[in-house]
Structure 1
């Protein structure tokens, strides 16, 4: 096919229209930047992958008005009071300011909802257009794209690789992807469990074995995964520890044999009901890998292109979608011309440590699922530790993905952390103030609002009152993180506020 000599130009191109790429596109569009999104698939994938969102990302969706759109529930999300860690139960009852949220929603639906939002915001979304090559130049990234109709070129100001764990973008620019492959074989499929075995609490009773609870179960010979997210169609899987098996297409017969080895008895199940598509896959060795850098010049990485890990506990979309919300406003600031020096570098300095934390706890969960009496003893000890209130709070923050405090250059206890949930006297919640993805200076009567007048084109000032104010004033970034806070407002605090405004939102306007 001949290459079209007419070269397009775009401020930004996103390779990959999965949840993370689409979320980034929406964030950019809210800031007035219309990206081009490329994906080789002919349309949104219906492949069953993630089955829910967990962690702070649920609250961050609320900050964009998306929680209500995703759920149809007009009420704000509420923290969950328990979770699982390597098939052990965590109890968050009594955890102050519990940051852990959960939203059961299948990934194909997330993609469809984000695709609609992206199109409504004017994003140039191109299904069936595959990025096939790239070359960095001093002032652009030269892209080659293939579609069913033609091949063509785009000169992009920036390129974001949201193109998965085998990322062409990452490989082409030469960013290392170090990590570890666990000696495990995981098998997962949709199946139909007979009605007589299913229980109202989400578990099943297996003849000759006993109860299998909803979620993960660790046994002496391996692990089990069981969940019924849709009536009559259950998700069932096994985890066995050992070398990889022959890389051939998996069958339900293979899953039955694996279940027999782990359980010691046969588990009755049938072909899944309904039209599908149905999950049926084997994972030979679980990769845990983390990109050495998230940026190389005008190329940035997002989602699985930057980090892959075990899905145990559901951290993947929490990590990737929060990455997208961190990157979106910073990249838009560069393209809109007001970004202070070094702003885009903070994408990596802030989010890379969060990725490292996910690598750590996902590997820990894999280790704690292994067979053997030594692991059993360690699990007993961990269970005792999890019952301690301080440990429960620590685990809630770790799994929520907000236990890393960003270095924002301000030492107030709230700075560098997500804004706490607040309801203003007029009934608005603080999350509603961030629906447009603009910075907000929230002034609780301390007089800080006047200081931000020179940034009125970039920062919205909201003067409000609240019952128990957390501070006299809060400067919020578009991603919901506190950039500056003060308990009173005087000359010193004014100087600190001006420094924070310059650091995050550029110089004061001259007009």
Structure 2
């Protein structure tokens, strides 16, 4: 019989969010147990083409800073190269809003002056199965325990600990994080609300054999009754504006039903010979008003759901994990004030709200009705302008994400630029240990002396960089977010206040 163990953190859910959070916690020397209800991580919906996912700039940067990006093989074959401002641009589609494309040649890359030449890509494509495999491998290497086939069925928390029941076994931890998806049992058992808006459509994703694919147009097609997207002549995405009734009915997707929906939306008599794999989804948008209840926290789809339009969901969840991991670890190690964990809510909840509204806005211009078509035409005109295309790209790629940390400097609350030192090293390569950093570009001896007493918590890194962007000193959190900057002579008192605020030391 297995010896009972008390864990620092129990995570419900071994999807990308739960796995990435576990990696962050284990990197900070926390003991972590993941309980996953599925017996196996493998599913046809996680493989191509169903498992294709776009990851935006903040996610790419997070994976890069932990040395995980190079372990993803699939993105090397299909990734878009990073477009630098000084390079000649070519006209290629690099994203969309509600199916309306925007193109690289229309974007003003100079509006993002902190994206240095060494920056990672603004977007990449990956496969869900591969991403989970890479994250699970890293988690296990760091000492995380993963138990599959263990669905959480009950829990009970006290002031000191939380007890979780799964597969009629009892597990004890200091904290529990629900990363168990849109139907999160942790959210329900933990007493969280989940408020928002109901769906406008049922979405279908299916792999089929079409008898007469020439009757359909390749690509995305908006019609008077919905939308269909055909790629590779066998991969279909449909949007049927039925207020989510078929999805909510939980009826099986039969060949006859899917063919009927496809014919009605496409206005053709196309025939499906075979239906191989299919799933449904909706644009239901809900969010928990709080991400924490005592010793229980939520992240990913357990905290917020919305339509997959624009591929924001995975990025939002991984952003939650990156933000929460170091804060929860610091709380466990007693090296943080109570307000640090509260900042998970104040920083991530507004980001979630914006993504939900972004999803709702896309649905509003895709509906098969005159008002939506008129609005769609206006959006298309805006996206053809340089400022319009740049705005939409910034939102879709996550380049406009910035936390309000009470400082007007544009770098504070943003991800750290990937500065290149004169010896060729990049800042992002120095963050794999998960520690905070003080970057001193002026090699100030007095700062070096001051930081010596914080060396257990903050790495002091000094040296000249090729472009320091007018900044002399930067305090960077473990998640890569800039917490404090000095443009010229650093105010030591202000630096120490920032250190105290974020690290309670």
TM over 0.5, shorter chain? yes
Aligned to 2:497: 499
1:354 aligns with 2:371: no
- 1:20-169 matches, cutoff 5 A: 20-49=17-46, 50-55=51-56, 56-71=58-73, 78-79=81-82, 82-92=94-104, 93-96=107-110, 97=112, 101-146=122-167, 151-169=168-186
- 1:108-507 matches, cutoff 5 A: 108-146=129-167, 151-192=168-209, 206-207=214-215, 211-213=217-219, 216-228=220-232, 234-243=234-243, 244-245=245-246, 247-267=250-270, 269-271=272-274, 279-283=277-281, 285-447=282-444, 448-470=447-469, 471-490=471-490, 493-507=491-505
- Measured after TM superposition, the shift of residue 100 of structure 1 is 7.1
- Measured after TM superposition, the shift of residue 212 of structure 1 is 2.7
Q: Are residues 479 and 78 of structure 1, via their aligned partners in 2, closer, same or farther at CA, if it must alter by over 3 Å?
A: farther
CA distance in 1, matches of 2:273, 2:434: 47
Q: Are residues 73 and 287 of structure 1, via their aligned partners in 2, closer, same or farther at CA, if it must alter by over 3 Å?
A: closer
- Measured after TM superposition, the shift of residue 193 of structure 1 is 5.4
Task: Give ranges in structure 2 of 5+ residues lacking alignment.
Answer: 84-92
Task: Give ranges in structure 1 of 5+ residues lacking alignment.
Answer: 198-205, 273-277
Q: Could you say what secondary structure the match of 1:105 adopts? A: strand
Aligned to 1:18: 15
CA distance in 2, matches of 1:79, 1:162: 31
Q: Are residues 74 and 442 of structure 1, via their aligned partners in 2, closer, same or farther at CA, if it must alter by over 3 Å?
A: farther
- Measured after TM superposition, the shift of residue 330 of structure 1 is 0.6
CA distance in 2, matches of 1:157, 1:402: 35
TM-score normalized with structure 1 length: 0.87
Q: Could you say what secondary structure the match of 1:104 adopts? A: strand
Contact 1:134–1:172 under 8 Å retained in 2? yes
Q: Are residues 5 and 498 of structure 1, via their aligned partners in 2, closer, same or farther at CA, if it must alter by over 3 Å?
A: same
Q: Could you say what secondary structure the match of 1:461 adopts? A: strand
Q: Are residues 423 and 6 of structure 1, via their aligned partners in 2, closer, same or farther at CA, if it must alter by over 3 Å?
A: closer
TM-score normalized with structure 2 length: 0.88
Q: Count how many residue pairs are aligned between Structure 1 and Structure 2.
A: 475
Give the CA RMSD over aligned residues: 2.5
Contact 1:100–1:396 under 8 Å retained in 2? no
- Measured after TM superposition, the shift of residue 170 of structure 1 is 0.9
Contact 1:8–1:153 under 8 Å retained in 2? no
